[in-house]
Structure 1
Amino acid sequence: MIGRLNHVAIAVRDIAAATAVYRDTLGARVSQAVPLPEHGVTTVFVELPNTKIELLEPLGADSPIARFLEKAPDGGIHHLCYEVGDIRAARDRLVEAGARVLGDGEPKTGAHGKPVLFLHPKDFCGTLVELEEA
């Protein structure tokens, strides 16, 4: 059901500083910062040959990333995103198997402009999983 790893998301306090690490220290190609108010984050994508790294900075105190950083002040891996061919079919199969979809269970538009869903970390070895329709 899952396809390729689309990205690994890392929560950061300072997206400009984190971007500089990937761009200037590691020599990676990075996108411009894009605020996504509907998700409570600002994102930067680090382009790698085989996947992406998504840097997430909280956009406001109510951001889920702000809450994550309260528990992990230095930041860290927030979630893994896998591609699926049909997000609704994947959701239905996962729910039938006992997995919990976060939120209202309906796909939302993600940072790439494609439908996404998040799956409860307790159902996936302690890891928050994002599914993105390919």
Structure 2
Amino acid sequence: MIRIIVQVIINALALAVAVLVLTGVDLTASAGMVEAIGGDETLANVLAFLLVGLIFGVVNALVRPIVKFLSLPLTCLTLGLFALVINTLMVLLTAWLSEYTPAVLSVENFWWGLGASIIISLTSAVLDFFTRRLGPAE
């Protein structure tokens, strides 16, 4: 259970880095969400990143393995470059799903999604490396 919580936090931090670096990617908390927690906009933004990080984790856990399996011949044919397209599609799917929540991730187009997927992958890899090294041995 703790590993799932840590993974959601890692996803949220990776999304935050992508939002900070890229101008075509944005995450906003709805006004209703800000009002629901007493008007604290900073807390609403943190919760928005955590919520979208959770959605991103669920998408990567449920949808991504199926898509990777079905696109395996194309991934082999492109020497693995199609994996970037799959990662981008997972970011775009997360953005679409987040439209139905109080926290909305907006990605302008495919290319901004590609940049976001690269930044999220690199940030997640670095944070995952440090959390696994600092955590207890399994």
TM surpasses 0.5: no
Could you state the TM-score of these two structures normalised by the residue count of structure 2? 0.27
Greater length-normalized contact order (CA 8 Å, ≥ 6 residues apart): 2
Q: Which has the higher strand share?
A: 1
Could you state the TM-score of these two structures normalised by the residue count of structure 1? 0.28
